[in-house]
Chain A
């Protein structure tokens, strides 16, 4: 299984506990995790279903650079972390 966690900056708006989901593409993994908190979905994805430009997704210690296709494979035992990219003032 894959563990998906959302940073506190996201959970400030919509609570979502760490999720354990089946391996698959990064999109499949994220979509599966967000079924636990559908209201969180528009915080992670934009209108075109890409990861928002100020949101970063890590697979283990590597940041996913592709925001649109999300075809990268996530394997059993991997940990996916969704955070806010640090911007603003």
Chain B
């Protein structure tokens, strides 16, 4: 039996099942937008990030697999300075969205990281009860050059803790490139060399701080291999992000938001292509997933079981996820569709097309 958490516009759904048999086992926070869900493999605790339209971002935690939830601390920016270089920061110092929520290292019980919009990175050392802004990154003057992309403000959607060393953390920002720290967040370096942003003047299109990585994922067994679905294409690195290599655009598109990678095989990854970039729906209305098994040299187009025509689903950044078994994929859309593939994308089973818009998926990971 597998368990999938579905963070949606109208609450958090818990789906349980196997193969083609899936059922809703729980619906939490009905009516409230849930922007992220996470299960901590170190503790078995569940976390849900809510974006209450009137009352701001909130975090909820369950220590009993969803039977009960408690309101825990939510990342909060410190008071905005009234003098100095940040006094004129046009970005509001208010957390509007918890966009990424991940556990710290296996040797760091209680540590959680949250990437937010605006793009602050927050750390908790007590299982989410309290949070502190990572000021070295937030106060870096280059942060003021980040842009909001399709949102009002820049957002941090990807936070990756290196499984070899929890002090090594990589984050990706739309639009602010990729950054990494090797000292637990005390200092940061831009790590987006090789990426190109064709939406800015040519003189600065290679500026690592101008890049719009839509989503970044990391191979657990070979953490120097990372993948990015970028606004302007797809990238892979084999040296931990020092240099990113563009992947030749595959059919039907190299535009999209989501990417998932195999935790064991550094050559395998999946993408959810869409028509670029003002359209943002499947090319020709045919929904597919693309998969590479050779590090991006070639791709298979996988659509068996997905809508073959007249489909206008968009797959958000966190809505293409691989289960811990390494071959079960889940895919969801802004139009309320949920599909599951038991065989790495070769065949898809439509679980439902009737959910609210889905923001994120998260498989339950065993303790």
Q: Knowing A42-B76, A48-B80, say if A84 contacts B94 (CB, 8 Å).
A: no
How near does chain B come to A33, taking the closest CB pair, in angstroms?
16
How near does chain B come to A55, taking the closest CB pair, in angstroms?
6
Closest to A83 in B: B54
Q: Within the assembled complex, what's the spacing in Å between the Cα atoms of A42 and B58? A: 9
Q: Within the assembled complex, what's the spacing in Å between the Cα atoms of A13 and B80? A: 27
Instruction: Please provide the chain B residues from 348 to 367 with a CB less than 8 Å away from any CB of chain A in the complex.
Output: none
B77 located at the interface, meaning its Cβ lies under 8 Å from any Cβ of chain A in the complex = yes
Contact B94 A10 (CB under 8 A): no
Contact A10 B79 (CB under 8 A): no
B55 located at the interface, meaning its Cβ lies under 8 Å from any Cβ of chain A in the complex = yes
Chain A residue numbers with a CB within 8 Å of B78 are 47
Chain B residue numbers with a CB within 8 Å of A85 are 54
Q: Within the assembled complex, what's the spacing in Å between the Cα atoms of A9 and B55? A: 10
A87 located at the interface, meaning its Cβ lies under 8 Å from any Cβ of chain B in the complex = yes
Contact A13 B94 (CB under 8 A): no
A46 located at the interface, meaning its Cβ lies under 8 Å from any Cβ of chain B in the complex = yes
Interface size on A, as a range, is 10 to 19
Contact B74 A42 (CB under 8 A): yes
Contact A55 B55 (CB under 8 A): yes
Contact B55 A48 (CB under 8 A): no
Chain A residue numbers with a CB within 8 Å of B76 are 42, 47
Chain A residue numbers with a CB within 8 Å of B80 are 48
In-complex Cβ contact of B54 among A9, A47, A49 (8 A): A9
Instruction: Please provide the chain A residues from 43 to 89 with a CB less than 8 Å away from any CB of chain B in the complex.
Output: 43-44, 46-49, 52, 54-55, 84-85, 87-88
Contact A55 B54 (CB under 8 A): yes
How near does chain A come to B336, taking the closest CB pair, in angstroms?
15
By a beta-carbon cutoff of 8 Å, the part of chain B in contact with chain A is 52-56, 58, 71, 74, 76-80, 92-95
The 6 tightest CB contacts between A and B, nearest first, are: A43-B55, A54-B54, A84-B54, A88-B53, A47-B77, A47-B94
Known: A43-B56, A52-B54, A54-B55. 14 other contacts (CB 8 A): A13-B55, A13-B71, A14-B71, A39-B71, A42-B56, A42-B76, A47-B78, A47-B93, A47-B95, A48-B94, A54-B53, A54-B54, A55-B55, A84-B54
